[in-house]
Structure 1
Amino acid sequence: MPNQVQFVRQAAAALIACGLVVSLLPSFTPSLYAQTVDPASVLGDTTMPSPEDVSQNFPYGITGKTPPSLIKINYKGQPPYHKHRINLRIFQGCPQVEISEGGRLWATWFGSNIQAERAPYHKDQFSVISTSADGGKTWKEVFVFDPSELLGGGASDPMLWKDPQGNIRFIGLRNIDFKGQDEFASSAWEFTMLDPENEHTAWTAPRLLGNKNISVMKPLIFADGTIMRSMDDFKFVGIPDKVRIRFLKEDVNGKPIFVSEFPVDNDAVFAEQMPIIRKDGSLFTFYRARRGQKFAESFDGGKSWKLGGYYPMQFSINTKCILKTLPSGKVLLVANDVQMKRENDKKIYYYTDENGKERELEKHKTPRTRMTAYLSDDDGKTFTHKMLLCDEGQISYPSATLNKDGAIYIVYDQGRGEIGQHTIFLSKITEEDILAGKLVKGEGFLNNIVSRPSDQGGGRRKGDKL
């Protein structure tokens, strides 16, 4: 009986909290809920064969469970003509950033010497891992995740994140065309750095996470050390009435606890959801949709989700944004500050200036520009402070990490295949900068170059077809 009473109290509290949040937000579409499912039914059987199995000994008996590896580059004695050198690269984007406990910065992104991104197998595409020991002023590419030697496999959507113990982990998404004969044709593999202060750190053996895209958004870390990973089934993007958007909850040892699912939302594209924990313990996330960002909430630790419809402030139209709770309790949002309306069947892209006036985009008429850092004082209900980071060209796909001194490092890409662009930028800011709407601390900077192949003799040239 006491357990039943406690359950009723908890359920009532959750319903009251739900009603309170809904009352504070404008009216949206009817509420939709989804529940948990068996992790193996979503991730596939991630149990690995024995080390003696033929699939574990490349190049014999390759399967979706044959482990990938990281390739060390730009080390003393390496031949200068290796195939991953930057002056061969013509396309790159989708960066991530992380920082070690000692302050060494790490970044990753995907690139190609041959073509633009080609889903679903991303042939001839690899992921670069780069590092900086001087706070982001200079960078050196030190590892590559390149599955091309495995049946022409390609890499996509790499990830760097810091686990509850402070270890930096890298996730490589591998894609191999097994002609429908292997459930791990797409597979996410996670490596952990053993010495993140060393530019050519050793790594753990890779761990197979699953057969879904699980490497676009950084996991959410709970106070007890458990984590929640965001997942999406990209092969169903654009196909109606398919459940795609999910979360994987893991215990402190990496064992799956549950997988939860969003209800079907045919307006969602590459969802790229990144939840935060609000002050009342509930979870809140945006997810990418055709006309901006929609939002969802969970009042049971992520087991079930309520869809709320489009968020009232329009931003990041059909592109990625990120959310992160800062030590102060404020919520950081990094997103494209662009709005859209239609006039005479034509899309008009604009932004609202500091005086509340609408200003149409003139130079770059795209939703992927005006990368902006926002702050919320009220757990994501509103974002009343903002600071423009970059509006030079097509800017997208932010990632952020926090240093112990309060610095916020943010990366994003520019013109992935554009002549003279295909740049990875890094900005360093603080909460105070966002509140002021400009840099106010001397150590901050905007748009330092992490990587630009055209500066190194590479890059797309006039006449190149991507």
Structure 2
Amino acid sequence: MQKQFHSICRTTVAAMPGLLIVALLPSMATVLSAQTVPPRSILGDTTLPSSDDVSQTFPYGISGKTPPSLTKINYAGQPPYHKHRINLRVFQGCPQVEVSAGGRLWATWFGSNVQAERAPFHKGQFSVISTSADDGKTWKEVFVFDPSELLGGGASDPMLWKDSQDNIRFIGLRNIDFKGQDEFATSAWEFTMLDPENEHTPWSEPRLLGNKNISVMKPLIFPDGTVMRSMDDFKLVGIPDKVRIRFLKEGVDGSPIFVSEFPIDNDAGFAEQMPIIRKDGSLFTFYRAKEGQKFAESFDGGKTWKLGGYYPMQFSINTKCILKTLPSGRVLLVANDVQMKEENGRRLYYYTDEDGTEHALEKRKTARTRMTAYLSDDDGKTFPHRMLLCDDGQISYPSATLGQDGSIYIVYDQGRGEIGQHTIFLSKVSEADILAGQLVQGESFLNNIVSRPSDQGGGRREGDKL
């Protein structure tokens, strides 16, 4: 294998000067603040052995520290029947998007030729890296992150993000069943593009980040170039009274500064927290919970966190949303515009229009539809502006990035294993579009197809059991 370089209870809330909102939760009064812990105690010892160590030489001596690689696909001269071709794919989802300084778009997501997602080792699953040189009109799959040749390893939750120097980085999350004998059975590895304007860019050697899921949400970049990465110990999801939601603060050179931990919150699902820096310098994040999104705040740069309870506006019920501060100072939220309540012992999913009228969901009775872009003018206290992006099927897991001209590129998935769906969509919008509630910018568009295997002879068919 060739290396390519590296129940619906809502708490009363009160606004306070300099703060966003603080939920009045008496029961949490003594368990609000998080703590910092030594990074190594959470990430494991990420120091790699010397290059001549047996663990660094594929295919011998495989361990959790054996480096992964990226495999180039769809290049001139490649055999036409390689195993990662799209017409074999039956399942895919969880996309991410980035854009180069020159405007080349990059996207990544995970997929499989054989099955739906299978935690914790995700066997049979790989991550695709695709690119577009024409502003998202057409796409070409150019790399895969596939650990299957290393003891049947599988990939999950890939990430693309851009650092303070505009370098585009890819994180591959690798999972190998070492039968409990290796602390890096799950390991996050980061590669940096060396020529992001080239569809088959060379890559840096991979860097081992740690043994936690660290690749679902884009890192927060501070003005000094340091970053804060969101972490979660997915193996503990659903197990009560376990600390698992954390942040890793890193220096510009990648050296760990601290790891901070949320207090225990048994309402939290796959937390998928994504903080922003508010105008007063404090940090704010949503995190995924059973009845919607909860929020947390930090007033010391992310070292400690205070939990605030459920946010008053219900959205993205137990599913991912994203936050991003735009150059204008407005805050972008991309989320599922769905609310939920119980009537006669049944869950009713609905949305509320601009006039405050409730509309029950009839076609897709799920929390994962109505992908919507929101804007806040007041540092995230409220999100009065919104524009529906897509309600065609089961829509989830957004990711966003900004073009040089301020354009907002947003990707999300549709029906990961559903017949005729399993689509990755891209929308390009502007602040003006969201403020107007509809497309008004000439170059904006909604729901261009990045990838749909069923359009290429692949996809799940009647009778397939995933």
Moved over 2 A (4+): 18-31
Deviation at residue 406 of structure 1 after TM alignment: 1.2
Partner of 1:27: 24
- Give how far 1:409 is off: 0.2
In the TM superposition, 1:403-442 aligns within 5 A as 403-442=403-442
How much has 1:20 moved relative to structure 2?
3.3
Q: Determine if contact 1:371/1:389 at 8 Å carries over to the other structure.
A: yes
* SS at structure 2 position matched to 1:435: helix
CA distance in 2, matches of 1:23, 1:385: 18
State whether residues 25 and 381 of structure 1, in contact with CA within 8 Å, keep that contact through their aligned partners in structure 2.
Answer: no
Distance 1:201 1:143 in 2: 10
Measured in 1, the distance between the counterparts of 2:24 and 2:181 equals 46
Correspondence for 2:278: 278
Question: 1:363 matched to which residue of 2?
Answer: 363
Query: Which structure 2 residues correspond to residues 227-246 of structure 1 after superposition, within 5 A?
Result: 227-246=227-246
Structure 1 CA distance, aligned partners of 2:108 and 2:196? Answer: 14
C-alpha deviation, 1:28, in angstroms: 3.8
- Per-residue CA deviations over 1:358-415 (Å, capped at 9, x if unaligned) read 0000100000000000000111111010000000010000000000111000000000
Distance 1:201 1:24 in 2: 44
Q: Distance in 2 between matches of 1:244 and 1:74?
A: 39
State whether structure 2 residue 295 is matched by structure 1 residue 295: yes
- AA aligned opposite 1:64: G
For the Cα contact (< 8 Å) 1:193–1:202, is it kept in 2?
A: yes
> Would the alpha carbon gap of residues 319 and 24 (structure 1) be closer, same or farther in structure 2, given more than 3 Å must change?
closer
**1:43 offset after TM fit, Å?**
0.1
Structure holding more helix per residue? 1
Superposed, which structure 2 residues align to 1:88-167 within 5 Å?
88-167=88-167
**Match of residue 320 from structure 1:** 320
1: distance between equivalents of 2:16 and 2:202?
Answer: 50
Aligned residue in 2 for 1:171: 171
Quote how far apart the aligned CAs of 1:24 are: 4.8
Distance 1:440 1:19 in 2: 36
SS in 2 for 1:63: coil
Cα shift at 1:25? 4.8
Cα deviations across residues 188-214 of structure 1 (Å, max 9, x unaligned)?
Answer: 000000000000000000000000000
| Letter matched to residue 429 of structure 2 | I
Mapping of 1:52-91 within 5 angstroms? 52-91=52-91
Query: Which secondary structure does the structure 2 equivalent of 1:131 belong to?
Result: strand
Output the CA distance in 1 between the equivalents of 2:22 and 2:70: 46
1:333 aligns with 2:330: no
Q: Distance in 2 between matches of 1:177 and 1:151?
A: 8
Using the TM superposition, give the Cα deviation of residue 27 of structure 1 relative to its aligned residue in structure 2, in angstroms. 2.9
1:442 Cα deviation after fit:
1.1
Q: Provide the C-alpha distance between the structure 2 equivalents of 1:265 and 1:233, rounded to a whole number of angstroms.
A: 13
Deviation at 1:341, TM superposition (A): 0.1
The answer as to whether partners of 2:387 and 2:434 remain within 8 angstroms in 1 is yes
Which amino acid in 1 is paired with 2:418? E
Asked if structure 2 preserves the Cα contact closer than 8 Å seen for 1:411 and 1:426, the reply is yes
Kindly state the Cα deviation for residue 354 of structure 1 after the two structures are TM-superposed: 1.3
Q: Matched residues in 1 for 2:436 and 2:171: separation?
A: 36
Distance 2:275 2:221 in 1: 10
Q: May I ask how many residue pairs the two structures share in their alignment?
A: 450
Distance 1:83 1:252 in 2: 38
Deviations 1:419-457 (A, max 9, x none): 000000000000000000000011100000000000000
Q: Deviations over 1:27-69 (max 9, x none)?
A: 3453411110000000000000000100000111000000000
Q: Distance in 2 between matches of 1:233 and 1:19?
A: 33
Q: In 1, Cα distance between the equivalents of 2:438 and 2:22?
A: 29
Matched AA of 2:17:
L
Code of the aligned partner of 2:338 = V
Cα displacement string for residues 176-229 of structure 1 (whole angstroms, at most 9, x for unaligned residues):
000000000000000000000000000000000000000000000000010000
**Displacement of 1:118 after TM fit?**
0.2
Letter in 2 for 1:119: A
**What SS does the aligned partner of 1:20 have?**
coil
Residue 382 (structure 2) pairs with residue 385 (structure 1): no
Superimposed CA distance per residue, residues 92-116 of structure 1 (whole angstroms, 9 cap, x where no aligned partner): 0000000000000000000000000
Which string of whole-angstrom CA distances, capped at 9 and with x for unpartnered residues, describes residues 133-164 of structure 1? 00000000000000001000000000000011
Superposition deviation, residue 21 in structure 1: 5.3
State the AA in 1 paired with 2:199.
E
Q: Which amino acid aligns with 2:435?
A: L
Task: Output the CA distance in 1 between the equivalents of 2:299 and 2:345.
Answer: 40
Q: 1:23 to 1:440 in 2, by over 3 A?
A: closer
1:28–1:310 CA contact under 8 A, matched in 2: no
CA contact (8 A) 2:23 2:308 kept: no
Determine the C-alpha separation between the residues in 2 that align with 1:36 and 1:297: 15
- Counterpart residue identity of residue 389, structure 1: L
| Structure 1 Cα separation of the partners of residues 173 and 20 of structure 2 | 40
Residue 23 of structure 1: how far off its partner (Å): 8.3
Could you tell me which residue of structure 1 aligns to residue 205 of structure 2?
205
Distance in 1 between residues matched to 2:428 and 2:69, nearest whole Å? 31
TM-score scaled by structure 2?
A: 0.95
CA distance in 2, matches of 1:23, 1:440: 31
Partners of 1:26 and 1:312 within 8 A in 2:
no
Tell me the equivalent position of 1:14.
none
Alpha-carbon distance between aligned partners in 2 of 1:24 and 1:322, rounded to the nearest angstrom: 18
The offset of 1:71, in angstroms, is 0.2
Identity among equivalent positions (%) equals 84
- Measured in 2, the distance between the counterparts of 1:173 and 1:442 equals 38
Q: Is the 8 A contact 1:89 1:113 kept in 2?
A: yes
| Shift in alpha-carbon separation, 1:380–1:28, aligned structure 2, 3 A | farther
